[in-house]
Amino acid sequence: MEEVLALVEARLRTALGEPDARAAVTFLGTDRIEVLRFTEADVVRYATLGMSAQPMADPTAVLADPVKGPRAELVLTVRAGLADTDKALRPLAVLAASPQVEGVVVAPGASLDVGEPLWPGAPFSSVLVAESGGLVEDLELDAPRDPVRFLPLLPMTPNEAAWKRVHGAQALQERWLNAGTDLRDPLRRSVTLD
């Protein structure tokens, strides 16, 4: 576990530079989750560290495989200085602990909801999990372990989350793209939905 997390942190540092802050959260019955903050010009990135320590298990499986199974960390990118986004650390840790706490497998296309604003005044309480491989490359581990995927989180307004449940993740992403939506804007309004 420690070896995996050391490799994950090294990959994050290679891709995003040195973190300028870090916070740790431990929930009852779970491993420690850290959230690292990386600041670069006008953007702030928050990356979880600890979610990938254990593979995510299918909630219907009788026994969880301690070696095989998907592994991931979460990455949120927002524009700096527009909102108090550092308060997102705890909600991000909650999302990263969800595989251990709720037995969910976090994968691209999934919606994750924290039930409260991601930060004070945020118009978002949920996120869409996007495909890995862009900003931070997947981290290959020795077989038979699955690679660690660094999954971007795209904040969704309640209307967008409801629309996504009906029309799907791909349709929502196309709607954002067609509208030229700045998904890094921590104060953005919902995209027009019909």
Write the pLDDT tens digit of every residue in 104-147.
Answer: 899 999 999 999 999 999 999 999 999 998 899 999 999 899 99
Counting residues of the chain whose pLDDT is more than 70, the rounded percentage is 97
Counting residues of the chain whose pLDDT is more than 90, the rounded percentage is 79
Nearest Cα neighbor of 20 from 4, 2, 35, 42 is: 35
Model pLDDT, residue 57: 83
Torsion angle, CA of 190/105/136/42, rounded to 10 degrees? 30
Residue 187 confidence (pLDDT) above 90 = yes
Instruction: Calculate the alpha carbon distances from 154 to 17, 32, 173 in Å.
Output: 21, 24, 9
What average pLDDT does this structure show over 67-82? Answer: 94
Residue 90 confidence (pLDDT) above 70 = yes
Q: What is the Cα–Cα distance from 62 to 147, expressed in whole angstroms?
A: 23
Residue 157 confidence (pLDDT) above 90 = yes
Residue 59 binned pLDDT confidence (cut-offs 50, 70, 90): low
Residue 44 binned pLDDT confidence (cut-offs 50, 70, 90): very high
pTM for the whole structure: 0.94
The beta strands (E) that lie in the chain are given as 21-25, 33-40, 43-49, 71-79, 111-113, 126-129, 148-156
Q: What is the Cα–Cα distance from 128 to 163, expressed in whole angstroms?
A: 12
Select the more confidently predicted residue: 100 or 146.
146
Residues 6+ apart with CB under 8 A from 70: 55, 56, 105, 107, 146, 149
Residue 185 confidence (pLDDT) above 70 = yes
Between the two ends of the chain, the Cα-to-Cα distance in Å is 46
Q: What is the Cα–Cα distance from 10 to 170, expressed in whole angstroms?
A: 31
What average pLDDT does this structure show over 99-104? Answer: 86
- How far is C-alpha 169 from the chain's CA centre? 15
- Residue pair 136/7 in contact (Cβ under 8 Å)? The answer is no
What average pLDDT does this structure show over 95-102? Answer: 90
Give the mean pLDDT of the chain.
92
Residue 29 confidence (pLDDT) above 90 = no
- Residue pair 53/70 in contact (Cβ under 8 Å)? The answer is no
Residues 6+ apart with CB under 8 A from 112: 95, 98, 106, 126, 127, 129, 153
